[in-house]
Amino acid sequence: MADNRLDMLGEVCPVPLLTTQKVISEMKSGDVLTVETDYSRTVRNIIKWCDDRGYVFDVEDKDNGVWLVTIEKK
């Protein structure tokens, strides 16, 4: 089990999802990644992508317009 963090503040589509996919592909099963973003569509993109793959995810409001998306690789 390893915790990874990804700072995607200020990045817009499609960079956050592409980077998330890349980081997750290098992670081991059971590892957790937390993506920090201030882009609302990124949250939607990432959770849809996770949903399609059956990954468990959680979204947390960090601040006004800043979200933390936590993903567990299956």
Partner 1 sequence: MPVKIPPKKGLSLGVVGFITAFGIAAFITEQELLLVWIIGIALGFVLYRSGICFASAFRDIFLFRDFSMARVVIILIAISFVGIVIIQAFDTSGGFLEWVYPVGFHTAVGGVLFGFGMVLAGGCASGTLQRIGEGFILFWAVILGITAGSVLGVYHFSWWKNNFFSIDAVFLPDFIGWIPSIVLTLALLGGLNLLAMGIEKRNNSKNGLTEKDLAEKEVKSNG
Where do contacts with partner 1 occur on this chain (CB under 8 A)?
Answer: 10, 12-14, 17-18, 38-41, 44, 48-49, 51-53, 60-65
Q: Tell me the closest approach of the beta carbon of residue 13 to partner 1, in angstroms.
A: 5
Q: Tell me the closest approach of the beta carbon of residue 9 to partner 1, in angstroms.
A: 11
What the block records as the tokens of 61 is: 């409001």
Other residues' Cβ atoms within 10 Å of the Cβ of residue 15: 13
Q: Quick one: 4 or 70, whose CB is closer to partner 1?
A: 70
Token pair 């993903």 in the structure block, residue: 71
> Nearest 5°: phi and psi at 12?
-115, 170
